[in-house]
Amino acid sequence: MITIKAKLLFWKIERKVPLSLAFPYDTVGYLGTESAEDLDVNKILMMMDYIPVQKGIEIDYDAYDLLVLHHPPVKEPEIPSYVIHSNWDIVSGGACDALADCLNITVHDIFDKKARLGRIGTLERGPVPLPEFCKTVREKLSLDTIRVVNFDENTAL
């Protein structure tokens, strides 16, 4: 079993995904009461969102040393946590690029250059009807449902 000090782990993450890229109002980085210099980490639970302990949901947070989240938690987690949010969305090779790659989209530009968010690209096998693209998104991301605003089945992407 490999153990690493949290401070070293955070340093490695921040070399690739700098905290300075995050929006000023965004909560990113280490959230915990214990010093990152003293925290030993060998089991990490990664989640999109923190799910507070509640009846009917069984997540054994005590089995982990650190929780890595994409979205900042609304309620303080039971264990030390590290959040990578807008800085992960923005960074080259981060969430936006990973999503485009997963959906076989060749990226040509950035949607919002000022915020550095979103990607503009071309579908590898496009154009395809919107219903077909929605089906691909559901399958690739293992989603039960997706919501499309102003859905028009005659739209092709």
- The tens digit of pLDDT for each residue in 116-137 reads 999 999 998 888 998 999 999 9
Secondary-structure breakdown of the chain: helix, strand, coil percentages, each rounded to the nearest 5 = 25, 25, 50
pLDDT of residue 125: 85
pLDDT of residue 153: 79
State mean pLDDT over 51-80.
91
pLDDT tens column, 86-106 = 999 999 999 999 999 999 999
DSSP state of 65: S
> Both ends of the chain: CA-CA distance in Å?
47
Strand 81-83 relative to strand 66-69, pairing: parallel
DSSP state of 20: G
**How many angstroms separate the CA atoms of 86 and 101, rounded?**
19
Does residue 154 surpass a pLDDT of 80? no
Residue (of 43, 46, 83) closest to 64 by Cα position = 43
